[in-house]
Structure 1
Amino acid sequence: MLRSLSLRLRIFLFFCLLAVGAIALAAVALGFVWTRTDSEWTASELTTVILLFGFLNTGLVLGIWLLFDENVARPIEGLSTSLRLRAHSGIEDSIKAQAAQYLGDLAPAARALSDALAASGDQPPEQTQRLLQDRERLTALLSEIPIATILVNAAGEIALYDAQAGAILSRIAAPRLGAPLSNYFDLTPAIGACARANRRLAEGYVTVPDSNHAETFNLQIKSLGAEGDVIFLDADTRAERDTQSRPLVFDFDLLDQKLEGTITARRLSELNFVVFDTETTGLSVAKDAIVELAAARVLNGRILDGEVFETYVNPGRPIPAASTKIHGVRDADVAQSPRIEEVIPAFHDFAQSAVLVAHNAPFDIGLLRQQEVQTGCSWDHPVVDTVLLSAVVFGISADHSLDALCSRLSIEIPARHRHTAKGDARATAEALIRLLPLLQGKGIETFGQLLNETSKFGRLLRDINSDHVRNAPEMSDSP
């Protein structure tokens, strides 16, 4: 049980034990003397002496503990945090000798280790640089080929789509890596034509409707064996091509990933995160409205630049000047923007089957849940709050504001992007990516373990994951 407590709390309990023990020993000693001598003390006088001693002794022990906490416990936690940042996130967090001056040679030794790690990891190997360059060239080339391409794994989940395929998919629903292809197309004709029982889709040409049965598409299916299928479609000449905003999007780890069991049993690295932020007319969940909503998707430890959500929202009321001063959104910016009744369903589709992530999540999730009756969209997603993640990693006494967290994780938020939904969502996503390895370094591997840890900080921020999330069945991508 004590192992689950922080170092500072364990030290505090140790000093409490010293104080209680000293008072108990003093009481026993005075009682022994009182019963064996012809003392004229009364029982009440003896009790007063014991209480006075207890008060003075507790004050002395508390003072010593404060010195010990300030000069030993806090610096040790600071050293461990710095080493974890370097080891698990590659962040160079300076180890200050002045702050750990009473730890002897521990601080210089930790700094030397950190410097050695930094020196060994400053420059990526030449081979890694070449792979990155080859990846950029491949992305640029495939994005220009006038044939829409989709790669699905053996489970029929999308592992790659290019710019042209993204344009087609977006007409049906938000393009998402890891989403079943059946979310976009009615694959009954392709499955019905399958000649082999162990194949999900039949090779060759087939015409299928979209999942809404609004359009039909000609698909050419090519088998990749046990890894899945590659699917070609005619390029969408009606849609405006924008390869800069929608590049080639892929994650080949999805070809081998097999997700089983409940959400709580999933490893953190296997989860699909949607990190979002809102800007509003004020600070009341019940009374104020969203004026801007933005989100980024995080999969397998990286932000998918091709899968973002961003929009202004017309709140149907004037935006207070005090709010505009903070986030910069004016009435003119939202005048021609969609209302919340249109935005919520689109975002709900974008966040399908994902774990929602926000900084101070009760506020942002509360705003979404306020619209459940009006929009018919239920927000029962699992939720991760980066405030609570910060508390788990850095301790409850640290500053857990977004600015402080980003500073601690060496994340720079340009001033023009701070307090914008897009900028804050991006910063929160980058913070999540750097926090996940730190959590795993502390032995927190699964989503269930993470929920157990964050629930310990309920006095800092309310945990909004409902009981059905903790005991949920396997997450599904089905609409």
Structure 2
Amino acid sequence: MSEKYVVFDFETTGFSAQKNEIIQIGAVKYDENDVELARFNQLVKNQRSYVSSEITQLTGIRPADLLSQPVIEQVLPKFLDFIKGHLLVAHNAPFDISFLYQAIIDCAITDVEAFRVYDTLAESKRLLQMKSYALESFKDFLEMNDLRSHDALNDCLVTAKLYQYLQEIEQPKAVSMLTEPEQMDLFGDISDEITDTLRRKLNLPITKNLVYYRQDSERIWQQFDISGIRIEREYSTGSSLSITLYNDEKLAIHSDFLKEMQKANFLTDLDENQSNGKN
């Protein structure tokens, strides 16, 4: 079910919530329809740790940039008010949540609501097949390469797009119902014929047979030729398809995953991801 949510990200002086601290808070608030409502972007003055040259190189934040910024005790109450009552979304959420809880403890803030958290890293590993699940790897996938990585606000925008993409896979939002003539115009026809027009629309190869892969009972990969494709629903990120195999078996699949299956190295990449635990 759709709900209001806040995508958030912290830039920090290191990886330990106890030894290091937050130096930038970024957050973007959305309504139930994925419409952006507000942004929160604040640098935070460090107090118990230093900003190393490695952190500066990674984030672009210099020690001098933080000298005149408010400390966490001044920023955190405003951030908690910003996220109150919303689902929290983050990429590698346990990292950011650990810093959030430590900041709450350090600031001696009580009566904080229990957080509900969605981790796009864990969910993308469950729903997608990628060579890398680092947030930066999704920028090309989501066509957001214009944003610089390791800026808290920019990372929020990428994470938000990823969250919306994952939600459409799990809980598709169908396009408005169309009359039959409009459907004919949109899809060309309502048959399962694999035309060149359909291939181009779905970014599938034009000149070779389309294939589908799955494992048999002995976990050996089997390849099946595809004899038909029908677009069932279109979303802002891809389409929900019904495909027909050579033996007339019909299956549902997302267009992006079908496109990945057509790559020559699909099985190699898939086996490597599985053997590495998708890390």
Please give the range of the TM-score, normalised by the shorter of the 2 chains. Answer: 0.5 to 0.7
**CA–CA distance in structure 1, aligned partners of residues 35 and 63 of structure 2:** 31
Residue 288 of structure 1: aligned partner: 20
Deviation per CA, 1:291-312: give whole Å up to 9, x if none: 10010012223241x4111100
What pairs with 1:7-26 in structure 2 (closer than 5 Å)?
none
What pairs with 1:123-272 in structure 2 (closer than 5 Å)?
267=1, 269=2, 271-272=3-4
Contact kept, 8 Å, 2:25 with 2:42, in 1: the verdict is yes
Residue 91 of structure 2: aligned partner: 359
**CA–CA distance in structure 2, aligned partners of residues 432 and 288 of structure 1:** 28
1:384 match: secondary structure: strand
Identical columns (%):
31
Q: Mind listing any 5+ residue stretches in structure 2 that lack a counterpart?
A: 174-276
Residue 69 of structure 2: aligned partner: 337
Contact kept, 8 Å, 1:296 with 1:303, in 2: the verdict is no
1:371 match: secondary structure: helix
Contact kept, 8 Å, 1:290 with 1:315, in 2: the verdict is yes
Deviation per CA, 1:386-415: give whole Å up to 9, x if none: 1122122215x752111223333x231325
By percentage of residues, which structure has more helix?
1
- Please state if 1:429 is matched with 2:160: yes
By percentage of residues, which structure has more strand?
2
Q: Which amino acid aligns with 2:114?
A: D
Contact kept, 8 Å, 1:413 with 1:423, in 2: the verdict is no
Residue 380 of structure 1: aligned partner: 114
Contact kept, 8 Å, 2:59 with 2:150, in 1: the verdict is yes
Shift of 1:285: 2.1
Contact kept, 8 Å, 1:303 with 1:429, in 2: the verdict is no
**CA–CA distance in structure 2, aligned partners of residues 379 and 414 of structure 1:** 36
**CA–CA distance in structure 2, aligned partners of residues 293 and 460 of structure 1:** 28
Deviation per CA, 1:11-44: give whole Å up to 9, x if none: xxxxxxxxxxxxxxxxxxxxxxxxxxxxxxxxxx
Residue 407 of structure 1: aligned partner: 140
Contact kept, 8 Å, 1:372 with 1:379, in 2: the verdict is no
**CA–CA distance in structure 2, aligned partners of residues 384 and 279 of structure 1:** 19
Shift of 1:332: 1.5
Relative distance call for 1:379 and 1:279 in structure 2 (3 A) is farther
**CA–CA distance in structure 1, aligned partners of residues 113 and 140 of structure 2:** 31
Deviation per CA, 1:177-207: give whole Å up to 9, x if none: xxxxxxxxxxxxxxxxxxxxxxxxxxxxxxx
- Please state if 1:297 is matched with 2:29: yes
Residue 319 of structure 1: aligned partner: 51
Residue 103 of structure 2: aligned partner: 371
Contact kept, 8 Å, 1:309 with 1:347, in 2: the verdict is yes
1:381 match: secondary structure: coil
What pairs with 1:41-190 in structure 2 (closer than 5 Å)?
none
What pairs with 1:29-40 in structure 2 (closer than 5 Å)?
none
Contact kept, 8 Å, 2:45 with 2:70, in 1: the verdict is yes
Query: Larger relative contact order (C-alpha < 8 A, sep ≥ 6)?
Result: 2
**CA–CA distance in structure 2, aligned partners of residues 283 and 342 of structure 1:** 23
Query: When the two structures are aligned, how many residues end up with a matched partner?
Result: 173
Residue 202 of structure 1: aligned partner: none
**CA–CA distance in structure 2, aligned partners of residues 285 and 424 of structure 1:** 19
Shift of 1:379: 5.9
Relative distance call for 1:344 and 1:383 in structure 2 (3 A) is same
- Report runs of 4+ in structure 1 exceeding 6 Å deviation: none
Contact kept, 8 Å, 1:368 with 1:379, in 2: the verdict is no
1:302 match: secondary structure: coil
